[in-house]
């Protein structure tokens, strides 16, 4: 089964996946990337403001990029300055 590495980028911080995940298909790679992003965002969004982006870059065993996905969060106060 092919091994893929899911590196993440969280607001400028690169986190390297040293362990990798076995995936049997490209669809499984895509679904794993989709699973990873919300779990990162759930922990990180409350810590760091209203504009954030989270990216996962998937590499194959040779280190070649094969898939990338980005989740963006943008919060905006409406009708005031957010201090009410």
The residue extents of the domains of the chain are 3-74
Q: Which residue has better confidence, 38 or 79?
A: 38
Of the pLDDT bands very low, low, confident and very high (cuts 50, 70, 90), residue 84 is: low
Give whole-number Cα distances, 52 to 44, 59, 70, in Å: 9, 23, 10
**Would you give the DSSP letter of residue 24?**
S
Strand residue runs (E) in the chain: 3-10, 13-15, 21-22, 51-59, 65-74
Instruction: Give the contacts of 12 (CB within 8 A, at least 6 positions apart).
Output: none
- Residue 1: is it exposed, middle or buried by C-beta count within 10 angstroms (0-12/13-18/19+)? exposed
Residue 46 confidence (pLDDT) above 70? yes
């Amino acid at each position: 089964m092919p091994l893929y590495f899911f590196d993440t980028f969280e607001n400028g911080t690169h986190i390297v996946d040293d362990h990798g995940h076995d995936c049997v298909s490209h669809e499984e790679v895509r679904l794993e990337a989709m699973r990873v992003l919300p779990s990162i965002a759930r922990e990180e969004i409350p810590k760091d403001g209203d504009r954030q982006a989270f990216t996962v870059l998937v590499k194959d065993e040779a280190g070649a990029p094969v898939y990338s996905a980005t989740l963006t969060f943008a919060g905006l106060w409406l009708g005031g300055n957010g201090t009410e």
